[in-house]
Structure 1
């Protein structure tokens, strides 16, 4: 279907934060570009996040084929804004135990991390302002896989939308991607899509779900089917678990399924830093 990058190489980018909070222990692979975490001014959480997202967008813009390792999901808006600087049309494959389809109007908790996909589809106007020049992705260009853990109002919003929902199954995902046509795809994966028993230290485990092996198969199927222009792993572990061996092993397996090989240095941060 797609014109894949011939050498299969990825440009690793690390955004070591969760919302507006730095995660010092976030693991930085060798040869990765780490987006710097500046001293943020006092202000609202969205305003502080916007400064981080502008730096992340610029890093994605410079990368030929970005693979972002992040501590949250909302920084995906920066990744997509960066991609839109060179891709007029873009589709989204979103693998997540949650829908991330809440908005300020329907969220019961107000947690911004639960609004990330709603942000990409234009459902959170005014939350951040237009600092990224992000264009909304049409619902018809979004495939949401798994999403087994939804709030009631969020479920209703998804039902009323035209987002295509599929199980975390490689055949179903490949079929849905084929129906999107020949368009570059942004692939987003939140690690909590994996069965909670396999994710010690996850911030938001969601109980029984697909195994790590099944998710690896989903990623491989997506790469074999579509033109994956960029990928994003939301590695939302509790801060004390972000850099432990189990977390790094999970990240390594997931990136390997995408065709990227991670090497972990004995010391962090990575070789390059911007911002």
Structure 2
């Protein structure tokens, strides 16, 4: 199993992320050389390097571990470079379908799924070489904290939606990227999340659901977003990563 470590939350370096991986895992680490510019430019710096690392390992079913959901755009772009046209299964408590125009915070980590399905490619997709996927090739799983603009958009969009327990019944066709944001887990079970949401599934439920997606044999990459603060309990974070990596070790 190839593990690609992207130790950043947006453009914030996360040196402690490596220590949470099992000792036996020797990841390929993406190191950014940030240019001057806005956050989209700096995200592009990380993303270009991530896409290249994914492209170099695309046929080995890579697992990408990063600090936020924006890495998913580079994962898809890297696969596309090698001719793998993948849909995406998006485990997340949030919709991540905000736009620059609708987001109250302007947080780029709340926009990746919208960008993946075609929103404003000039922001970052063009630099990554990311080609938009059709909305019905994206499945949003476990989302329960949606802002009004996201509710309005999803009410009209063709993005599929599913509960964790029903994920295997709603998968898009073809090869898939499995994206898992740690905050899909109930915040009582995963303390220290940057954007905690309650009333969600347990760690065990999420790992089991990921296993059902992987069991289809159609997953070509797993993208794990470790959206927590460094102060979060280390044993909890390390245990989750170990469990997901064990499920993902299908090669």
TM range (shorter): over 0.9
Match for 1:37 among 32, 40, 43? 32
Contact 2:35–2:41 (Cα < 8 Å) also in 1: no
Over the aligned positions, Cα root-mean-square deviation in angstroms equals 1.7
- Matched residue SS, 1:69: strand
Structure 2 residue aligned with 1:246: 236
CA distance, structure 2, for counterparts of residue 194 and residue 124 of structure 1 = 30
- Matched residues in 2 for 1:148 and 1:109: separation? 19
Whole-Å separation in 2 of the counterparts to 1:218 and 1:258: 12
Deviation at 1:176, TM superposition (A): 1.2
| Over 6 Å off, 4+ runs | none
Unaligned runs of 5+ in 2: none
Deviation, structure 1 residue 87? 3.3
Q: Give the Cα separation in 2 of the matches to 1:42 and 1:174.
A: 43
Query: 2:83 and 2:146 mapped to 1: Cα distance?
Result: 31
Q: Write the mapping of 1:103-118 to structure 2, written as runs, cut at 5 A.
A: 103-118=99-114
**Aligned 1:88-99 pairs, distance under 5 A:** 88-99=84-95
Inter-CA distance 155–226: structure 2 relative to 1 (3 Å threshold):
farther
Change (3 A) 1:18 1:246: same
1:87 and 1:223 map into 2 onto residues whose CA distance is 21
Q: 1:255 Cα deviation (Å)?
A: 1.9
TM-score if structure 1 supplies the norm length? 0.85
Aligned to 2:97: 101
Q: How does 1:114-193 map to 2 (within 5 A)?
A: 114-128=110-124, 130-169=126-165, 172-177=166-171, 180-181=172-173, 183-193=174-184
Higher relative contact order, structure no. (Cα contacts within 8 Å, ≥ 6 residues apart): 1
Whole-angstrom distance in 2 between the partners of 1:193 and 1:139: 21
Contact 1:191 1:233 in 2 (8 A): yes
Aligned counterparts of 1:47 and 1:200: Cα–Cα separation in 2 = 31
- Following superposition, the deviation at residue 224 of structure 1 comes to 1.2
- Residue 17 of structure 1 deviates from its aligned partner by 0.2
Distance apart, 1:41 and its partner CA: 2.7
In 2, the alpha carbon distance for the partners of 1:237 and 1:82 equals 25
Structure 1: runs of 5+ lacking an equivalent: 1-9, 262-275
Partners in 2 of 1:18 and 1:79 — Cα distance? 15
Following superposition, the deviation at residue 89 of structure 1 comes to 2.8
Give me the TM-score of the superposition, normalised by structure 2.
0.92
User: 1:234-256 deviations in whole A, cap 9, x for unaligned?
Assistant: 001113338x2221111111222
Deviation (angstroms), 1:72: 0.6
Q: Paired residue for 2:2? A: 11
Q: Which has the higher helix share?
A: 2
Measured after TM superposition, the shift of residue 129 of structure 1 is: 5.8
Give the match for residue 51 of structure 1. 45
How many residues get paired? 245
